[in-house]
Chains A and B, each alone.
Chain A
Amino acid sequence: DGGITQSPKYLFRKEGQNVTLSCEQNLNHDAMYWYRQDPGQGLRLIYYSQIVNDFQKGDIAEGYSVSREKKESFPLTVTSAQKNPTAFYLCASSRGFASGRSTTGELFFGEGSRLTVL
Chain B
Amino acid sequence: AQSVSQHNHHVILSEAASLELGCNYSYGGTVNLFWYVQYPGQHLQLLLKYFSGDPLVKGIKGFEAEFIKSKFSFNLRKPSVQWSDTAEYFCAVKAGSYQLTFGKGTKLSVIP
Hey, which bits of chain A sit against chain B, CB under 8 A? 33, 35, 40-45, 48, 58, 90, 92, 102-107, 109-112
Consensus secondary structure, chain A interface: loop
Chain B residues within 8 Å of A111, by CB: 42-43
* B78 proximal to A (CB < 8 A): no
Contact residues in A for B45 (Cβ distance below 8 Å) = 109
Q: How many residues of B contact A (CB 8 A)?
A: 23
Contact among A40, A43, A112 for B102, CB-based, below 8 A: A43
- Determine whether B70 belongs to the interface, using a CB cutoff of 8 Å to chain A: no
A40 touches B49 (CB 8 A): no
Shortest distance between the CB of B21 and any CB in chain A (Å):
14
B44 and A42 within 8 A (CB): no
Q: Please state if B9 and A40 are interface contacts (CB–CB under 8 Å).
A: yes
Contact A104 B43 (CB under 8 A): no
Asked if B56 is at the interface (CB within 8 A of a chain A CB), the reply is: no
- Cα A42 to Cα B6 in complex, Å, equals 10
Extra 17 A-B pairs, beta carbons < 8 Å, given A105-B34, A109-B36? A40-B9, A42-B103, A42-B104, A42-B105, A43-B44, A43-B102, A44-B102, A48-B99, A58-B99, A90-B44, A104-B32, A105-B93, A106-B34, A106-B49, A109-B43, A111-B42, A111-B43
